[in-house]
Amino acid sequence: MSRRIGVLCVDDSALIRQVMAEIIGSQPDMQVVGVAADPLIARDLIKSLNPDVLTLDVEMPRMDGLDFLEKLMRLRPMPVVMVSSLTEHGSEIAMRALELGAVDFVTKPRLGMRDGLLQYADEIGEKIRAAACARLRTAPRRGPQAPAVSGGAEPPLHKPFLSTEKLIVIGASTGGTEAIREVLQPLPADCPGVLIAQHMPAGFTRSFAQRLDGLCRIHVKEAEHGERVLPGYAYIAPGGYHLSLGRSGANYVAHLSQDDAVNRHRPSVDVLFDSAARNAGVNAVGVLLTGMGKDGAAGLLRMRQAGAHTFAQDEGSCIVFGMPREAIALGAAAEVHPLQDMAHAVLAHLRTLGERTSRI
């Protein structure tokens, strides 16, 4: 029998420590190796217990969870799953934690803490499992107010017809918030419209979109049902809603629904990719980024079969090489690139199309 994943739970609430220990102990492939009421106790336990994964609360005595996370990822990097309250302030903190290097986060329910967490036992187990096999990255040393555009920004496309006819769809899960940032940040203001399905719970995608909007040349927002998809905009599926691409005459429009989860997710990448295959076909570009599981792999294949050009992130740059690996195995990816090259590769493909069109 393989060694079980050792988890250290850090939370100032005795109830949360107890419930997390109960949830983790119920998983056949993991065990709680210790609990800590604050980061200073956790620091000593990490040295003595050497856990595989840390679950970390945000608001704690003696040291804030984010301060501890920043120090931990700088001095002793390890997989961390944050435990954050489902509030506007909590969602901003969760985004900052992911930026600092946390693999994922678990939301604390506002009411019925014990029963609420127990309802998400399988999801918590999956997040810890993903964290245990995640490839750690070094977080950028920058404050909340980062420069608006990275130094690697791409030049404009200068092809208005190309921007309006073409469409980019992106799917991601674990590790995806920072991966999406790296893809969107270099895009020029005249790039085609972008639709994004990132596995994220309700209440967090608005902060995610607002953060990206301040970092990118393009505008980034939560998608709204029925709105027109415009060049120079990226639309993120709200947590708890499927995002799909529709048509209204010659225009692309965003559709939102709360239909059943697909591949256990809502939003689902497959739902978005399938709609792009149906309604954009050869005019779509599909990009599948880091994430655990297989959501998006079959949809990316259907996009390629419909004539779209498709990309997958390579293993070396993925936090979790699950979804891209499944897509590559299916033959769904026309190109495979490291994350740092993805925006350039997508735009190079679009520019090639523009050059072909201009010669017709």
Q: Residues with catalytic annotation?
A: 173, 199, 295
Sorted by sequence, the CB contacts under 8 Å of residue 143 that are 6+ apart come out as none
User: In the structure encoding, which two tokens stand for residue 140, read together?
Assistant: 């950028």
Which amino acid would we find at residue 8?
Answer: L
The DSSP call for residue 291 is B
Interior CA angle at 226 toward 225 and 230, to 5°?
Answer: 105
Peptide bond before residue 238 is cis, with ω within 30 degrees of 0:
no
DSSP string, 233-288: EEEEPPTTSEEEEEEETTEEEEEEE-PPPBTTBSS-HHHHHHHHHHHTGGGEEEEE
Classify the C-alpha dihedral 145-66-134-14 as positive or negative. Answer: negative
> In 10 A of CB 156, how many CB atoms?
12
User: In the structure encoding, which two tokens stand for residue 164, read together?
Assistant: 């309006």
Q: 70 and 100 in contact (C-beta within 8 Å)?
A: yes
- β strands within 40-198, DSSP E: 53-57, 80-85, 104-108, 167-172, 193-198
Classify the C-alpha dihedral 132-215-245-317 as positive or negative. Answer: negative
Sorted by sequence, the CB contacts under 8 Å of residue 142 that are 6+ apart come out as none
Burial 262-274 (b: 16+ CB within 10 A, else e): bbebbbbbbbbbb
* Residues recorded for the chain: 360
> In 10 A of CB 28, how many CB atoms?
8
Least Cα distance to 273 among 166, 169, 163 occurs for 169
